[in-house]
Amino acid sequence: MAGQSDPHISLFSAEEVEFMAEDELIEIVPNMRMDPLNFICGDFGPFLPQIATQVPLWLAVALKKRGKCAIRPPQWMSVENLTRVLEGERDTQGAFQALPFHYVEISRLLFDHARDDIPDMYMVRSLVEDIRDVRIHKVETSLEKFSGTSAVKIPNLSAMEVNIIRPFVGRALQAFYKHDNPEKIPDVDRAPSGHTRVANNEPRRPLRR
Amino acid sequence: MASGAGERSTEQIDDYETLISTTDVELLKGAWRNEKAAPEILPFEEALVKRAKEQIQLMEETVDDFAESGHDPLIASLYQMDLDRAQYLLRSYLRVRLQKIEKFMFYIWKRDTYRNRLSIEEEKFTERCIRDIGKHLEETVLSKLPENYQSVLKQSVISEEDDMVPEPQLDTFVVAKCEKATRPLYLDGSRQSAGFDSRDDHFQMVPGDLCILRYRPFQEELMSGNISLV
């Protein structure tokens, strides 16, 4: 997509998006005993063998890496559910199925670090990839329908998808807005707030002789 | 200090449920995302940053104690990770603000609304930045130009406005998530529509909605916490 070519326009890096996703809660089953952890980001535990508890994803991955727990994949990550979601994505052209805002990052982290905890890992993984592809394709085709309004609702779009389309869509809508409004901005009568004139004079700074 | 920050914290106290269930890290993450995504500098989250600093300091001491007392290294490393994450957020938040200040320093400095959004340290930074950049431009370029073209802020003496000062682009489009239901809003930027009754320009969001929208009409909604940027 055109918008991706300019790296420093992308607002959040992939790492930053992942960082945000790592705060999502997930269920783990510890295999050791550990006192509650009183973190800045909240209190978690106590940890008892075979007793499931909720922790942020980063903590789950850290414990998993050290062999201290098993991660329970979230409900939506089952083959049945993902198959249904994929069918739904294919059947409805305009809309997106409901998935967690960070579904791409969560599934990637789990595929990387907890493959043995995911039943039918290969199936799940290819389903997630298919869903991702179908959705991205849908995003691209639905972009054609965007027009120069000031606000567009994008229900159920995920963090990663938002991040991908943001530079392109943002600039496209801005261009629409500019072309729609050159005559609107100067005749100020309607907006008494007075700050209309200050608008965007960074790019169109007239050169004087 | 900044009025926007004050408004926000009283609203949070009203909303007791969110107050007890939301940690400062969560709030800081929200502030960081908003700051990163918004085209202009937002009110400094003074109380929040202060609390976060205190918690980080406390945690640093705890982690040091762990190291000294030969505590379980696993637990110590987990606390260290939590600390690293909080520190990263705080640093990144402050850094995004400094970047914006560097970009818009002249603009911010001339306007009280913007100046009031800075922390005391940021204000000092802006002042020094302006002085240094001004001096640098003076020495390298401006002093060698004809007399009429020597201003840092203006192209020439006939310019009526400061036309060499970069301004935040408030008509940028941002991606926003609705936190609390917003009042119907007129997208031409005015809240009262004086003789303006096109239904299409009338926009309302419900919590959870995700939208791409022009920043300017939603400025107030963002400051009052009705929407957040993602």
Q: For residue range B180-203, what is the model confidence (pLDDT) as tens digits?
A: 887 777 665 544 443 334 445 567
Predicted-complex ipTM score: 0.82
Give percent above pLDDT 70 in chain A: 79
Q: Is A149 on the interface with B (CB under 8 A)?
A: yes
B55 and B149 fall within a common domain = yes
**What is the per-residue pLDDT across A13-62, written as a single tens digit (0 to 9) for each?**
989 999 999 999 999 999 999 999 999 999 999 999 999 999 999 999 99
Same domain, B188 and B112: no
Domain-ending residue, one of B111, B130, B165: B165
Largest CA distance in chain A: 78
* B99 and B186 co-located in one domain: no
B177 in the same domain as B157: no
Chain A nearest CA to B17, separation (Å) = 16
CA distances from B46 to A9, A115, B6, B100 (A): 28, 43, 9, 17
Confidence (pLDDT) at B120: 96
CATH architecture observed for domain A2-183: Up-down Bundle (1.20)
CATH label of the domain that carries residue B64:
1.20.58.1030
Domain boundary among the residues B165, B190, B206 is at B165
B195: containing domain: 169-230
B175 & B217 share domain: yes
Q: What is chain A's length?
A: 209
Distances (CA, A) of B31 to A29, A111, B34, B141, B176: 33, 30, 5, 38, 13
Give one DSSP letter per residue of B75-127, joined into a string. Answer: HHHHHHHHHHHHHHHHHHHHHHHHHHHHHHHHHHHH-HHHHTTS-HHHHHHHH
**Spans of all domains in chain A:** 2-183
Q: What is the CATH number of the domain that holds B200?
A: 3.40.5.60
- Chain A residue numbers with beta carbons less than 8 Å from the beta carbon of B164 are 205
Residue B216 shares a structural domain with residue B142 = no
Torsion angle of alpha carbons B82, B83, B86, B88, nearest 10°? -110
* pLDDT (0 to 100) of residue B16: 56
Residues B51, B114, single domain; the answer is yes
Query: Phi and psi for A34 in degrees, rounded to 5?
Result: -155, 140
Omega before residue B168 within 30° of 0, cis: no
pLDDT tens digits, one per residue of B37-59 = 999 999 999 999 999 999 999 99
My answer on whether B139 and B195 are in the same domain is no
User: Residues 73-132, chain A: which have Cβ within 8 Å of B?
Assistant: none
Query: Are B132 and B197 part of one and the same domain?
Result: no
- Tell whether B42 and B95 lie within a shared domain: yes
In a mutational test of the A interface, the residue from B26, B36, B78, B88 whose CB has the highest number of chain A CBs within 10 Å is B78
Q: Counting Cβ atoms within 10 Å, is residue B46 exposed (0-12), middle (13-18) or buried (19+)?
A: middle
What is the distance between the terminal CA atoms of chain B, rounded to a whole angstrom? 26
**Count of other CB atoms within 10 angstroms of residue B196:** 13
Q: Are residues B8 and B97 in the same domain?
A: yes
Task: Please count the residue pairs, one from chain A and one from chain B, whose beta carbons lie less than 8 angstroms apart.
Answer: 138
Rounded to whole angstroms, the Cα distance separating A110 from A44 reads: 20
**Cβ partners under 8 Å of residue A89, min gap 6:** A96, A97, A131, A134, A135, A138
Q: Is B196 found in the same domain as B138?
A: no
Per-residue three-class SS string for A87-131:
HHHHHCCCCCCCCCCCHHHHHHHHHHHCHHHCCCHHHHHHHHHHH
Distance from CA of B209 to the nearest CA of A (A): 6
Contacts of B175 in chain A (CB under 8 A): 154, 162, 166, 170
User: Residue holding tokens 């939208």?
Assistant: B211
Q: Which of A8, A18, A39, A174 is the best mutation test for B, with the most CBs of B within 10 A?
A: A39
| Max Cα distance, chain B (Å) | 73
- Count the domains in chain B: 2
Residues B121-171: pLDDT tens digits? Answer: 999 999 999 999 999 999 999 999 999 998 989 888 888 888 889 999 998
Low-confidence stretches of chain A (pLDDT < 50) are: 1-7, 185-206, 209
Pairing of strands B210-214, B173-178: antiparallel
Q: Does the beta carbon of A37 lie under 8 angstroms from any beta carbon of chain B?
A: yes
For residue A153, what are the β-bridge partners? B211
Q: What residues does A70 pair with on adjacent strands? A: A29
Report the Cα A139 to chain-centroid distance in Å.
13
The amino acid at residue B76 is A
